[in-house]
């Protein structure tokens, strides 16, 4: 039925895709997270004009599939904005936009979970809003966001496989190429699945450890 | 009182985790490294088809032989042709969702009885058997008109030239065979229109489409923006694609039945008439 | 490249049909995931290694591999293993259902464990059997904790149904692809497809937000 041994010799070809997979994940995560914090703050603070825009952005990217984001960005951006980006750049930007929405929600939930008493104590101590945010609330929020963030990263790593649809030669794409050359799509796919497992499992373990440490039944995500 | 697994001692739990994980991997590996499967069944799939009452066919999309409407309905020259085959066998015709990347694998795993509209290539012949070809399709290299890199067929066979291909598709095989020195981008699950946009946006220099149907469609949608090699109506000579039905290797009974059907329809001229009907560009009014 | 939005009027019915299939897969998979997720959660907290370790292995496997691969596997390999045929809809629903079950399993577990221990003690003092304790005391309270993240998970599930297009299921993404092939207008089609996803998924997002506010659990 399944003869994985037959495809094992081609493993190196698949492995060559891993650096790209990791690079896409890392870049999208960094970009998304950097964008997410300001967005979360804007949303919580209810900044006029900016907050509704942020809300629409977040809700749009949270409710629509990343597959559509990637394909849309790939075919539409050149037409709409004259932006001729490489496939790799498009994937990173699309996934970063997606990640920014997820992370913004994680940050928001984390910040709002910090007991109100903390903010009030800060006011009593005479701290201004920025000081309250960065010196009192955020440090405590960090504890709450670490586990969901690790989970979001795992999600991102799996979503990087969508880059195959626009011919970025990362792991999944290489799997597709290999499968059409040796006519063993299922064996190749199994091997690819194992490789994804190997990449994401350490992250999943980390997420589990962080979840136990935070010790708060984290609602909202 | 229930004891939470989460309240066990730290080391015990960690050991538990590692054991569970290695167990999972061991299970996966065992499932994978099974035997290559039982020897091919001696009885023909033809009997299965008759018992079942349906002929299961891979629902791949290949203009103009087999196409699919957004409603899900299949139509095309081969759809009609296979309808007649099913009638002759006394069964219903059933299309099973398929893509080109798994079309061949589906035959070997028995997901469907045969793959229609598939090009005969030496590579594929190692895994499946083919009926007599019932038509030949040609590929045409499609390039953006302003693109100076390519002004003849030979120009395309250079590393600076980037081809856009659908992974596992017929055009990919032709592209790689005819232009081994060029660079090839593989799209998983892409469609012809996406390849066209790829060339249009300049992200790829060339793509291969079949003539006359897809070429006609492209000309209609994009007008003069493309140029074709050797020409819009003349396909490449390299690897002309004999189109046939692919079926399980070794199943000679079924192969014979297919060949008889094809030959009889060829002789009566019906085959010719049917494909003529679909091969003209006017047919595609959408 | 000029845009032509008029074609969409002609194809809108198909897109809506596709959206219907998307929702059907989501509903089917959610049902499977809830039932199986509960089983997994109970297995995990049962304290019996025979139950909790396989559950753990299952959860880790389904959470770490791309759902796309799981879907293709269920379409091609599982029928060979179990001996009966699965069509695209069934394979996608099953694969996504079992996938999401892994996530819900963890959410349910956290929910059950999040119920104050004193509740369990009180149930025992009242003489309730373990089953009754769960049914009348623990699970209803766990529900409050579980609903917001579970609703978000359903949102993720709906998005994941777009992967079913890979095995030809006629859900929204696949229908969009077919329209794209016929019209050679990926721009317009993709934009409308994205908007439709937003329209059908946003109510779920709103529900999640509403539940989050209404069921705010005070921290201990």
The burial of B11, by beta-carbon neighbours within 10 Å (0-12 exposed, 13-18 middle, 19 or more buried), is given as: exposed
C1 touches chain B (CB under 8 A): yes
Confidence of residue B64 (pLDDT cuts 50, 70, 90): confident
Confidence of residue B45 (pLDDT cuts 50, 70, 90): confident
Q: Residues A68, A165: contact at Cβ < 8 Å?
A: no
Considering only residues A188 and B138, tell me which one the structure prediction assigns the higher pLDDT.
A188
A134 touches chain C (CB under 8 A): no
- C66–A193 CB contact, under 8 Å: yes
- A218–C162 CB contact, under 8 Å: no
B130 touches chain A (CB under 8 A): no
C113 touches chain B (CB under 8 A): yes
Residues from chain B that touch C175, judged by Cβ atoms under 8 A, are 70
Give the pTM. 0.84
The CA distance from C46 to the nearest CA of chain B, in Å, is 7
- pLDDT per position as a tens digit, C9-68: 889 999 999 999 999 999 999 999 999 999 999 898 888 888 889 999 999 999 999 999
Residues from chain A that touch B189, judged by Cβ atoms under 8 A, are 165
Per-residue model confidence (pLDDT) at position B42? 56
Residues from chain B that touch A172, judged by Cβ atoms under 8 A, are 188
The residue among B93, B79, B62, B74 whose CA lies nearest residue B214 is: B62
> Which of B70, B98, B218 is nearest residue C182 as measured by Cβ atoms?
B70
Where helices occur in chain C by DSSP H, the ranges are: 7-45, 49-64, 67-76, 78-82, 88-114, 117-125, 130-133, 139-160, 172-183, 186-214
Q: How do the domains of chain B map onto residue ranges?
A: 2-119+251-284, 136-229
B21 touches chain C (CB under 8 A): yes
- How do B162-166 and B226-229 pair as beta strands? unpaired
- C178–B16 CB contact, under 8 Å: no
Q: Do domains B2-119+251-284 and B136-229 have the same CATH topology?
A: yes
> Residue B29 pLDDT > 60, yes or no?
no
- C46–B72 CB contact, under 8 Å: no
B200 touches chain A (CB under 8 A): no
The residue among A87, A162, A15, A188 whose CA lies nearest residue C166 is: A162
- DSSP state at residue C216: P
- A65–C219 CB contact, under 8 Å: no
> Which of A165, A166, A180 is nearest residue B101 as measured by Cβ atoms?
A180
Residues A63, C205: Cα–Cα separation, whole Å: 7
Residues A91, A165: Cα–Cα separation, whole Å: 10
How many contacts, defined by CB atoms under 8 Å, are there between A and C? 122
Per-residue model confidence (pLDDT) at position B17? 56
Which residues of B, range 255-284, sit inside 8 Å of A by Cβ?
Answer: none
Residues from chain B that touch A169, judged by Cβ atoms under 8 A, are 186
- DSSP state at residue B59: E
Per-residue model confidence (pLDDT) at position B8? 40
Per-residue model confidence (pLDDT) at position A70? 92
Structure ipTM over 0.90, yes or no: no
Per-residue model confidence (pLDDT) at position B280? 62
Residues from chain A that touch B35, judged by Cβ atoms under 8 A, are 1, 3
- A217–C72 CB contact, under 8 Å: no
CA–CA distances in Å: residue B264 to residues B23, B113, B260, C24, C166: 58, 21, 6, 45, 37
Confidence of residue C208 (pLDDT cuts 50, 70, 90): confident
Which residues of C, range 128-167, sit inside 8 Å of B by Cβ?
Answer: 130, 165-167
The CA distance from A76 to the nearest CA of chain C, in Å, is 6
Residues from chain A that touch B126, judged by Cβ atoms under 8 A, are 183
- Chain C: list its partners (3+ Cβ pairs within 8 Å): A, B
> Which of C56, C76, C79 is nearest residue B105 as measured by Cβ atoms?
C76
- A217–C193 CB contact, under 8 Å: no
* Superfamily of B136-229 according to CATH: Periplasmic binding protein-like II (3.40.190.10)
Confidence of residue A39 (pLDDT cuts 50, 70, 90): very high
Per-residue model confidence (pLDDT) at position A51? 92
- Tell me the fold of B2-119+251-284: D-Maltodextrin-Binding Protein; domain 2 (3.40.190)
């Amino acid at each position: 039925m399944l003869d994985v041994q037959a495809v094992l010799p081609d493993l190196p070809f698949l492995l060559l895709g891993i650096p790209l997979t990791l690079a896409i994940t890392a870049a999208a995560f960094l970009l998304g997270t950097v964008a997410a914090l300001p967005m979360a703050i804007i949303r919580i603070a209810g900044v006029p004009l900016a907050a509704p825009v942020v809300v629409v952005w977040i809700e749009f990217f949270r409710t629509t599939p990343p597959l559509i984001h990637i394909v849309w960005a790939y075919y539409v951006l050149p037409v709409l904005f004259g932006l001729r980006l490489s496939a790799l750049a498009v994937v990173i930007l699309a996934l970063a936009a997606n990640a920014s929405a997820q992370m913004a929600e994680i940050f928001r939930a984390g910040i709002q979970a910090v007991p109100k008493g903390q903010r009030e104590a800060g006011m009593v101590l005479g701290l201004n809003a920025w000081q309250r945010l960065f010196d009192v609330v955020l440090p405590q929020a960090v504890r709450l966001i670490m586990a969901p963030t690790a989970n979001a990263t795992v999600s991102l790593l799996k979503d990087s496989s969508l880059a195959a649809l626009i011919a970025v030669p990362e792991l999944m794409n290489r799997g597709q190429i290999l499968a059409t050359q040796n006519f063993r799509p299922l064996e190749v796919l199994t091997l690819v699945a194992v490789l994804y497992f190997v990449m994401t499992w350490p992250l999943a373990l980390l997420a589990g450890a962080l979840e136990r440490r935070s010790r708060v039944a984290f609602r909202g995500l | 009182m229930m004891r939470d697994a989460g309240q066990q001692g730290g080391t015990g739990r960690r050991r538990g985790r590692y054991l569970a994980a290695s167990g999972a991997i061991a299970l996966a590996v065992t499932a994978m490294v099974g035997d290559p499967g039982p020897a091919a069944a001696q009885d023909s799939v033809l009997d299965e088809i008759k018992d079942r009452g349906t002929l299961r066919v891979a629902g791949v999309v290949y203009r103009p032989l087999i196409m699919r409407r957004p409603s899900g309905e299949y139509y095309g020259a081969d759809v009609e042709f296979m309808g007649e085959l099913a009638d002759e066998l006394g069964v219903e015709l059933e299309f099973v969702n398929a893509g080109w990347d798994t079309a061949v694998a589906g035959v070997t795993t028995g997901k469907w009885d045969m793959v229609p509209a598939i090009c005969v290539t030496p590579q594929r012949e190692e895994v499946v058997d083919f009926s007599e070809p019932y038509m030949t399709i040609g590929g045409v290299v499609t390039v953006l008109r302003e693109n100076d890199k390519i002004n003849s067929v030979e120009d395309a066979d250079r590393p600076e030239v980037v081809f856009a291909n659908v992974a596992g598709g017929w055009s990919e095989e032709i592209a790689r065979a005819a232009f081994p020195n060029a660079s090839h981008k593989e799209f998983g699950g892409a469609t012809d229109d996406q390849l066209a946009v790829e060339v249009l946006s300049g992200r790829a220099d060339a793509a291969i489409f079949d003539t006359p149907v897809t070429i006609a469609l492209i000309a209609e949608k994009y007008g003069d923006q493309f140029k074709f090699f050797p020409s819009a109506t003349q396909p490449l000579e390299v690897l002309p694609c004999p189109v046939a039905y692919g079926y399980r290797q070794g199943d000679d009974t079924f192969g014979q039945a297919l060949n008889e059907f094809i030959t009889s329809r060829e002789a009566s001229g019906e085959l010719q008439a049917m494909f003529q009907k679909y091969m003209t560009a006017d047919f595609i009014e959408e | 490249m000029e845009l032509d939005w008029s074609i969409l009027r002609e194809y809108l019915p198909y897109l809506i049909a596709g959206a219907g299939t998307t929702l059907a897969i989501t509903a089917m998979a959610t049902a499977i995931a809830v039932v199986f997720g509960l089983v997994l959660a109970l297995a995990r907290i049962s304290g019996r290694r025979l139950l909790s370790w396989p559950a753990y292995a299952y959860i880790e496997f389904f959470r770490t591999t791309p759902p796309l691969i799981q879907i293709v596997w269920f379409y091609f390999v599982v029928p060979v293993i179990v001996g009966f045929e699965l069509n695209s809809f069934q394979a996608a629903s099953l694969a996504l259902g079992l996938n999401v079950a892994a996530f819900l399993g963890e959410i349910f577990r956290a929910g059950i464990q999040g119920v104050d221990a004193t509740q369990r003690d009180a149930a025992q003092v009242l003489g309730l059997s373990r089953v009754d304790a769960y049914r009348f005391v623990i699970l209803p309270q766990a529900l409050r904790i579980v609903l917001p993240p579970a609703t978000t998970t359903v949102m993720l599930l709906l998005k994941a149904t777009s992967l079913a297009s890979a095995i030809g299921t006629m859900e929204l993404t696949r229908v969009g692809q077919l329209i794209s092939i016929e019209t050679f207008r990926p721009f317009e089609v993709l934009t409308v497809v994205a908007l439709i996803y937003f329209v059908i998924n946003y109510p779920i997002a709103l529900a999640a937000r509403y539940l989050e506010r209404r069921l705010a659990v005070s921290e201990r």
